[in-house]
Chains A and B, each alone.
Chain A
Amino acid sequence: MEAGTFRISKMEIPYAIQARPDTGLYNAKVGIWLFLASEVMLFGGLFSAYVLLRVGADQWPHGWLNVTLGTANTIILALSAITTLLAWVACKTGQFGKFKFFHACTLLCALTFLGIKSYEYHDKWIHYEIKLKDGTFADGHLVEKSPDFDLAKKTGTVTLHGRIVTDETLLYDLRAQKNVELKEVTVPTADIKQMENYGPWHNTYLALYFTLTGLHALHILGGSIVIGYIWGPGRRLWKKNPEQFTNRVEVSGLFWHFVDLVWIFLFPVLYLT
């Protein structure tokens, strides 16, 4: 070789397709399982924080979340897990058309899940609890704020679709209360002692709800980006190296199933118990 010149040969990362003799697995599979182990520790830490805070709480809200929407999201995520697996099987059997169809279904399910979750977040965002100066509480969804509404200057009014209760504990266990009558309640700002929406700052339950579901939603988003890449620009690899492509689909699928697994525990913990 002449001095000062380099000959770059085509290098290949070993065991991207073939299984290592010592582990019996290709490297990416070991990698994703190690990553999932770290994810288990991450969510495990948050779940244990949930247990610790819940056991120490004086009262815990029930019925604050919409079980129908939570169930819909559970079914959608289960369906996406199935389509992910079928996309991988389609690759294994060399049916690229079916792969494209099932992976598109997975993406659609993921976007629907995120759409429903966004709706639920918005529902909490516009839900207010107002502590009034007479010791009662107005609680409900924001209908409108008058144009001159200013909490600091004590001007204007705020209208909620909800109810007024004398005891704050009545706002906690909504499951135990049947036929709660909701109506439009207009509150003058001068009567307001404190006004707060149902954001993560409202109480421990909502802080945990937003943290756990927010982190989970970020995982859904990340998984969707990866699956979208494999379905879109990444599909070129199928022509060059179908086995490596299939392995990529399997690895992304394992991550997706893990995300489904986390939701299987999040749903009952936050919506049902």
Chain B
Amino acid sequence: MSELKTAEQHNAPLTGKSELHEHPVDFNNYLRRCLFIFIAIVCATSLMIWISYLPEHYSWAEKVAMILAVAGANAFVVAGFLMHLISEKKMIYTLLVFTVFFVLGLFVLTICATQDFPTGTTFR
């Protein structure tokens, strides 16, 4: 038998709450928060540009590491506050743990591949 219910049936016995009524939201509060987030993103972007123009005595690897650290913090702000990841349900976190695991696996395999070339050949 189908799991689908009629509209009448569906509206009657609710086992789960509507998320719309779960967290009361205040528009002005969000507006202020969004303003801070926007300023944070602009600052992070400016910082990345400034780092990229640092003098030559900073090595390329140091600059890349610093820029990616700032980009990571920037991404945390977007994911945490705009996508509400700092207060999400356990289901989403579980899904993301699997995603991170597979993405890291992908990167590790790539790094391993840089050292993996056919026997008898050399790497320039």
Binding site for B on A (CB under 8 A): 9-15, 17-21, 23-26, 29-30, 33-34, 37, 40-41, 44-45, 48-49, 51-52, 55-56, 58, 67, 71, 74-75, 78-79, 81-82, 84-86, 89-90, 92-93, 95, 98, 243, 246-247, 254, 257-258, 260-261, 264-265, 267-268, 272-273
Contacts and interface: CB of A to CB of B under 8 A. Distances in A.
Interface of B is mostly: helix
Given A48-B110, A71-B49, A264-B78, A24 B91 contact: yes
Contacts of B102: 41
Given A41-B103, A48-B106, A67 B49 contact: yes
B4 A13 contact: yes
Interface string B82-124: 1100000111100110110011001101110110000000001
Contacts of B4: 11-14
Nearest to B6: A9
Interface of A is mostly: helix
Given A33-B92, A44-B106, A265 B75 contact: yes
A164 to B, nearest CB: 27
B83 A18 contact: no
A12 B16 contact: no
A12 B95 contact: no
Contacts of B38: 78-79, 82
Interface of B: 3-7, 10, 14-20, 22, 25-27, 30-31, 34, 37-38, 41-42, 45, 48-49, 51-52, 60, 63-64, 67-68, 70-71, 74-75, 78-79, 82-83, 89-92, 95-96, 98-99, 102-103, 106-107, 109-111, 113-114, 124
Given A12-B5, A37-B95, A24 B89 contact: yes
Given A24-B89, A89-B27, A267-B48, 20 more contacts: A10-B6, A10-B7, A11-B4, A11-B5, A19-B17, A33-B95, A44-B106, A78-B38, A78-B41, A79-B38, A86-B27, A86-B30, A86-B34, A93-B26, A246-B20, A254-B83, A257-B79, A257-B82, A264-B75, A265-B71
